[in-house]
Structure 1
Amino acid sequence: MDGETRATQALRDSGMEYTITRHGKVGSLEEAAAARGVEPADIIKTLVVRRGEDDHLFVLVPGDRQISWPKLRAHLDVNRLSLPDKDVAREVTGYERGTITPFGSLTQLPVIADSSMAGRIVSIGAGAHGVAATVDADAAIIRLGADVADVTDPA
């Protein structure tokens, strides 16, 4: 099953309301937001973070923000975190960079959602380039069992 099919099936199985948007190649966050009909802050990047050997998690980061490594380390009570290389991220999730989503990941990983995404309608990747799902962030947080925390800073 391809990534888009896996992600869409997971969204359907979640019982959440969602809308799939498909668009061509975009060159910036602003172009992606325009193509999806949302503000740049409402595009959610799904990042795979390595906590240790075979220990990964997802961090959901609004488009206008970036991970604050000190905040994330403090929240997780760890000294070291890193981003795995693209091959490891694909092996863990089944998705290539730019398409990663917690929905339909090959491995169920803990999810941390930045607190700034709560209470909004957001657009999150849906398993293929140029494919996204627009969802209620609060519903997604609940369905993913996400830990909501302040783990980002303005980009």
Structure 2
Amino acid sequence: MSAGDAPASGHARVAADAAERGLEVEIFARPAANSLTEAAALLGIEPGDIVKSLVVKRSDGTFLFALVPGGRAISWPKLRAAVGVNKLQMPHAEVALAATGYERGTITPLGSTTPWPVFVDVGVRGRRVAMGAGEHGYSMFVEADALIAAFEATVADISVPE
């Protein structure tokens, strides 16, 4: 890429990173949704088959990705135990954008501008899931176990019902 080239779109970054990792993903345009339930209905799946990629900040200023199924939220005590720290927080939207290159609602570990560690809730394993694909108006389907392997992610019980 030369200095005058525009950066790749978010979903193109996702596709390129997936290809580099040998990870099969299906990226597709989708209509906007106002809720998890609406998004699941548009995709023809259950809300729990949508995985939220959340950026979490450590006290040392580094970040990690926490992947939790729809209908669930991060359990801070469980995530702190899995990470081995006593303080974690959700950063402001601008900080998450700076850490990953993605806006909230589009975040995925794939194609992140910085490769942060990935922590995946145990409830995600063994499923084909939908996730954000780096850009508003796009989602992707991926086999969760293949995603976990591609990132050498830590799988742990890190969520609670919303």
Cα deviation for residue 29 of structure 1 reads: 0.5
TM-score normalised to structure 2 length? 0.91
DSSP 3-state at the match of 2:51? strand
Q: Which residue of 1 aligns with 2:43?
A: 36
- Partner deviation per Cα, 1:42-86 (whole Å, 9 max, x = no partner): 101000000123310000010111000111112222221101111
Aligned equivalents of 2:41 and 2:19: distance in 1? 25
Cα deviation for residue 36 of structure 1 reads: 2.0
CA contact (8 A) 1:58 1:109 kept: yes
- Contiguous gaps of at least 5 residues in structure 2: 1-7
Is 1:46 the equivalent of 2:30? no
Q: Which residue of 2 aligns with 1:154?
A: 161
- Contiguous gaps of at least 5 residues in structure 1: none
Number of residues of Structure 1 aligned to a counterpart in Structure 2: 155
Aligned equivalents of 2:140 and 2:20: distance in 1? 14
Q: Bigger shift: 114-123 or 5-14?
A: 5-14
Aligned equivalents of 2:136 and 2:85: distance in 1? 33
Q: Which segments of structure 1 move beyond 2 Å, counting only runs of 4 or more?
A: none
Is 1:63 the equivalent of 2:70? yes
Is 1:89 the equivalent of 2:96? yes
Q: Which residue of 1 aligns with 2:85?
A: 78
Q: Which residue of 2 aligns with 1:26?
A: 33
Identity %: 49
Aligned equivalents of 2:96 and 2:51: distance in 1? 17
CA contact (8 A) 2:13 2:111 kept: yes
Cα deviation for residue 2 of structure 1 reads: 2.0
Aligned equivalents of 2:44 and 2:61: distance in 1? 37
CA contact (8 A) 1:21 1:36 kept: no
Larger Rg: 2
CA contact (8 A) 2:68 2:120 kept: yes
CA contact (8 A) 1:62 1:117 kept: yes
Aligned equivalents of 1:79 and 1:13: distance in 2? 34
DSSP 3-state at the match of 2:26? strand
Aligned equivalents of 1:104 and 1:89: distance in 2? 14
Q: Bigger shift: 11-20 or 28-37?
A: 11-20
TM-score normalised to structure 1 length? 0.95
Q: Which residue of 1 aligns with 2:135?
A: 128
Q: Which residue of 2 aligns with 1:108?
A: 115
Aligned equivalents of 1:34 and 1:13: distance in 2? 31
